[in-house]
Chains A and B, each alone.
Chain A
């Protein structure tokens, strides 16, 4: 599998480490959002047959975190973004 890194171009998937659902970016504030919201964040995952946003880490490369949009049925990768850009687009500052 080839992942088209937004900065470095096509890279072999063996250079990357898979973390999981990209909803991990949207961590609720554990002090104010309440137990339910944090419980859902921690334990609830959708398991779609189709398009899925995932976090991949370029461990053997530039160590950037990526958000990869992948079809879990066909394994086709339709979009690769820097997780930093995705988080900033959602209003995060870091």
Chain B
């Protein structure tokens, strides 16, 4: 039987970490991801099931952290749910059994590359990359935006902490864009 080695979005065995001045970009390979969308007319059922299962379903443009499930809003009646990969690798199956047929659930883990951005202040970096007013939005703000023509999700955890989900097939390009902007900003 073939012995297969899992590779990260950047084609490596281990997650990549890049430091540039005060900025650290850390690839996160330990996050399992799935999308949850309420089926037509089933929002009340989904809310009840999610509450029972401990899956947060935060309001528009927000991220809500929790253990084991965190989630952020992506569209009306649709969320992305995060969980630790080590315990929730089969996140779609776990959510499916927890939420039943009130929601349509899609595995998303390997569709995205996740980067954690850390610096004292991320504003100079992000204002070069996207049109989100990062200093103005509150902690826990989550939105879809565009960086270097790539549709990404940006989650603000603090003035100097954010997570970025970008298309996995463009992981190198997104990292390159981040590094280029970092050279300019810091």
A binds B: yes
Which residues from 123 to 179 on chain B have a C-beta closer than 8 Å to any C-beta of chain A?
131, 143-146, 151
A12: B residues at CB distance < 8 A: 131
Q: Give the interface SS of chain A, mostly helix, strand, loop or mixed.
A: loop
Given contacts A7-B60, A8-B60, A8-B61, are A64 and B145 in contact (CB under 8 A)? no
Decide if B74 is an interface residue (CB 8 Å cutoff). Answer: yes
Are B60 and A64 neighbours in the complex by a CB distance under 8 Å?
no
Are B76 and A7 neighbours in the complex by a CB distance under 8 Å?
yes
> How far does the alpha carbon of A7 sit from the alpha carbon of B61 in the complex, in Å?
9
Are B74 and A62 neighbours in the complex by a CB distance under 8 Å?
yes
> How far does the alpha carbon of A57 sit from the alpha carbon of B73 in the complex, in Å?
18
Are A15 and B146 neighbours in the complex by a CB distance under 8 Å?
yes
> How far does the alpha carbon of A8 sit from the alpha carbon of B76 in the complex, in Å?
10
B40: A residues at CB distance < 8 A: 94
Name A59's closest neighbour in chain B (CB-CB).
B151
Decide if A23 is an interface residue (CB 8 Å cutoff). Answer: no
> How far does the alpha carbon of A63 sit from the alpha carbon of B73 in the complex, in Å?
12
B75: A residues at CB distance < 8 A: 62-64
For chain B, the bracket of interface size reads: 10 to 19
> How far does the alpha carbon of A31 sit from the alpha carbon of B26 in the complex, in Å?
56
Q: How many residues of A contact B (CB 8 A)?
A: 13
Minimum C-beta distance from A93 to chain B (A)? 9
> How far does the alpha carbon of A14 sit from the alpha carbon of B146 in the complex, in Å?
10
Instruction: Tally A-B pairs: CB < 8 A.
Output: 30
Given contacts A7-B60, A12-B131, are A60 and B76 in contact (CB under 8 A)? no
A8: B residues at CB distance < 8 A: 60-61, 143
Minimum C-beta distance from B75 to chain A (A)? 4
Minimum C-beta distance from B119 to chain A (A)? 25
Are B144 and A61 neighbours in the complex by a CB distance under 8 Å?
yes
B145: A residues at CB distance < 8 A: 15, 60-61
Minimum C-beta distance from A16 to chain B (A)? 12
Decide if A25 is an interface residue (CB 8 Å cutoff). Answer: no
A94: B residues at CB distance < 8 A: 40
26 contacts between A and B (CB under 8 A): A7-B60, A7-B61, A7-B76, A8-B60, A8-B61, A8-B143, A12-B131, A14-B131, A15-B131, A15-B145, A15-B146, A60-B145, A60-B146, A60-B151, A61-B143, A61-B144, A61-B145, A62-B73, A62-B74, A62-B75, A62-B76, A63-B75, A64-B75, A64-B76, A82-B76, A94-B40
User: A-contacting residues of B (Cβ < 8 Å)?
Assistant: 40, 60-61, 73-76, 131, 143-146, 151
Q: Which 5 A-B pairs have the closest CB atoms?
A: A62-B75, A7-B60, A60-B146, A12-B131, A63-B75
